[in-house]
Amino acid sequence: MNIVVLDGYGLNPGDLSWEAIKTLGHLTVYERTSDQEIIHRAIDADIILTNKTILTAGTLQSLPKLKYIGILSTGYNVVDIEAAKSKGIVVCNIPTYSTASVAQMTFAHLLNITNQVGHYAEENRKGRWNTSLDFCYWDSPIMELHGKKFGIIGMGHIGTAVAEIAHAFGMEVYAYTAREASSMPEWIRKVELKELLSECDIVSLHCPLKANTRQIINSETLALMKKTAILLNTGRGHLINELDVAEALNNGTLAAYGADVLCVEPAIPTNPLLTAKNVYLTPHIAWASTEARKRLMEICANNIKAFLNGTPQNVIQ
């Protein structure tokens, strides 16, 4: 069984082991693979593992031995699922491996924005505290989270984990979701999108990227939000219109934006968010804790074992 990893560096830059997958077949790991290299490298593969390397219908047509695609993430938009189905190729993803880590990053962004930890740490490296006339100083507003209204768009595993943390901080939690209110804790208030955006002090995006959620945050929905509101996005870049968000930040109709994702990654120099006011970006690392990546590797190996045993799990339908 030939197993080819097309872009292994993102998951394992050297601190993890591929051993569990090595035991399942002949393993070849490429750190990165360009579009032009895919067919040559995977022509004899029975199993392909990919994170962000895109497998189009045309590419799949050129891989006659391929039986299984393992996506090294939860999102599966990198594979033409319908084309894979038509060829009888099983496609599996890795659900829920990063829930705790992404929820943690969501609040890392929020706490950095509300308490400006990074700003003050940098100022103190420059010697500013040394020269302060008082025992303390601050030059930016510091917000207490207790009692604030926290709005969550999308109440899957990550949205639910974020809600639990927000509740622990003493915030009022609002949710825009297809879930029934009865399936959520009683302290979560299910509302329509317009009410969530107009009422909440913080809005956090955790919905999947679909036709009805693409650019769910745009000039019209931004106009509903408080000028003092904080927007958080650890979901997908395309959940927002980046130009509209940048303009709202620059004209003062949105207070801050904390995000771990962009529409095009890595970032391109012309992205308006790179130079907009009060933007705090991390380079798509919410999923990348050591613990989450170990969990991903373990689930990936278990997915392959299940497939080889004739009982595939985590199959994309």
Give yes or no for a contact between 262 and 245, defined as CB atoms under 8 angstroms apart: no
* Nearest CA-CA partner of 259 in 242, 277, 234: 234
| φ, ψ dihedrals at 29, nearest 5° | -115, 120
The question of whether 265 is a catalytic residue gets the answer yes
Q: CB neighbours (10 Å) of residue 269?
A: 6
Place of tokens 């639990």: 164
Q: Catalytic one among 199, 206, 242, 284?
A: 284
Give yes or no for a contact between 207 and 153, defined as CB atoms under 8 angstroms apart: yes
Structure tokens at 37: 């290299």
Q: Give CA–CA dist 99/159, Å, rounded.
A: 9
The question of whether 157 is a catalytic residue gets the answer no
Q: Catalytic one among 236, 242, 293, 295?
A: 236
The question of whether 284 is a catalytic residue gets the answer yes
The angle subtended at Cα 216 by Cα 266 and Cα 259, nearest 5°, is: 35
Residues across the chain? 317
Q: Catalytic one among 31, 265, 291, 298?
A: 265
Give yes or no for a contact between 63 and 39, defined as CB atoms under 8 angstroms apart: yes
Catalytic residues: 236, 265, 284
